[in-house]
Amino acid sequence: MNETIKLQHAHHSIRSYRDDNVSDEMLDAIIRAAWHAPTSMNAQEISLVVVRDAEKRAHIAELAGGQAWIKQAPVFITIVMDFNKTDMGVRKAGQTQVIHESMEGFGVAAVDAGIMLGNLMIAARSLGLGVVPIGGIRRNPQSMIDLLELPTLTFPMVGICIGHIENDAPLKPRMDIATFRHDERYDASAYRTAIDAYDTDIMAYWQGLKRTDGITWSQNLGNNLKQVYFPQVRPVAAMQGLTNDK
């Protein structure tokens, strides 16, 4: 097994960072790893906003629901859906952009944002840095838009903390791989048994960390997926011109 795969197999989120700066050389290498990532149709409809300013990071931490590690990590990067950029290209070609009004457009930008996030994480971790993705920036998307001065036809999709690790974290267990890998056809026959086993495993993980607030995977899903947990995404996206109605 090569070192890249070992790194991927050992992925875990870090929520404790030293205040040491991430060097410009490291940060440039990490960003270029994302810049070289593929995008659908070579649209390059993703942009990154890098925030190193401590006051801005503290504000983002509040907007994301009080996630202190955003303030603590010296670098925070927001991955932005950027159909403003593509609109300029479409107009230059004498055409009218429509994709930003569609479910396909929002979906493809979400996929490409995920690819960017993966490249950022692997690049940062290969340099010995810690990372944690932050979906919580969609909790208050309009405030993020205002803070980062994002124009219409853009939207903050996900963020990532990057920094030197203060306290490492153990690898969180995953559900049985039979619930993830399907050969030739989708097969959910192993799900119920695997969910029961994983609920037991995740509780043992929390107990090992002495986390008295830890709950099972199924309870966590029940608490979160019974609702649209970031309800401002749709209305704010629509105000940004991303109507998602085609």
Query: Based on the domain organization, do 195 and 110 belong to the same domain?
Result: no
Whether 244 maps to a domain, the answer reads no
Nearest of 113, 56, 60 to residue 83 by alpha carbon: 113
Contact 202, 51 (CB under 8 A): no
pLDDT-derived band at 156 (thresholds 50, 70, 90) equals very high
Whether 240 maps to a domain, the answer reads no
Bridge partners of 154, per DSSP, are 82
Query: Based on the domain organization, do 159 and 197 belong to the same domain?
Result: no
CATH of the domain at 75: 3.40.109.10
**161 token code pair:** 């903390």
Bridge partners of 21, per DSSP, are none
* Average confidence (pLDDT) over 35-63: 98
Inter-CA distances, 199 with 170, 174, 190, 216, Å? 18, 10, 14, 5
Query: Based on the domain organization, do 189 and 149 belong to the same domain?
Result: no
The pLDDT, as a whole number, for residue 171 is: 95
Query: Based on the domain organization, do 88 and 195 belong to the same domain?
Result: no
* Average confidence (pLDDT) over 198-209: 97
pLDDT-derived band at 93 (thresholds 50, 70, 90) equals very high
pLDDT-derived band at 167 (thresholds 50, 70, 90) equals very high
Contact 127, 26 (CB under 8 A): yes
pLDDT-derived band at 166 (thresholds 50, 70, 90) equals very high
Domain residues for the domain of 184 are: 171-226
Inter-CA distances, 163 with 94, 127, 168, 176, 237, Å? 44, 10, 12, 31, 30
**DSSP assignment, residue 193?**
H
Whether 232 maps to a domain, the answer reads no
The pLDDT, as a whole number, for residue 28 is: 98
Token pair 């803070």 is found at 147
* Average confidence (pLDDT) over 178-207: 97
Query: Based on the domain organization, do 186 and 96 belong to the same domain?
Result: no
The pLDDT, as a whole number, for residue 37 is: 98
Rounded (10°) CA dihedral 237, 39, 11, 185 = 90
pLDDT-derived band at 178 (thresholds 50, 70, 90) equals very high
Contact 75, 162 (CB under 8 A): yes
Whether 245 maps to a domain, the answer reads no
**181-190: pLDDT as tens digits:** 999 999 999 9
Strands (E), 121-239: 130-134, 154-163
Whether 163 maps to a domain, the answer reads yes
pLDDT-derived band at 134 (thresholds 50, 70, 90) equals very high
Query: Based on the domain organization, do 162 and 198 belong to the same domain?
Result: no
Structurally, how many domains does the chain consist of?
2
The pLDDT, as a whole number, for residue 207 is: 96
* Average confidence (pLDDT) over 69-85: 98
